[in-house]
Amino acid sequence: MSRTLEFKAFCFEAYRAHHKMTGRATIQLFKKYGVLNYLHDCYDVLHTTGRDYLIEDIDIFINVRKKGA
């Protein structure tokens, strides 16, 4: 498994658990707002941060995308 795939899986599970979401709801949210592409594109910076920072960063990313829609 590639490092970026492992990282995206970690972020997905951390986000899902933190927000008490189902896997299905989480993947739909991530797909709708392009979160997996964001995590892939910003892997070099984001993989050095902690779980709480990642969850907050994903929340911010989604909120910015919602406002832009």
Predicted pLDDT at 33: 97
Average per-residue pLDDT in the chain? Answer: 95
Span 17-50, pLDDT tens digits: 999 999 999 999 999 999 999 999 999 999 999 9
H helices then E strands: how many in the chain?
A: 5, 0
Measured CA to CA, the distance from residue 64 to residue 41 in angstroms comes to 17
Q: Tokens representing 67? A: 């406002």
How many CB atoms neighbour CB 58 within 10 A?
Answer: 23
Domain parsing of the chain, residue ranges: 3-68
Measured CA to CA, the distance from residue 64 to residue 68 in angstroms comes to 6
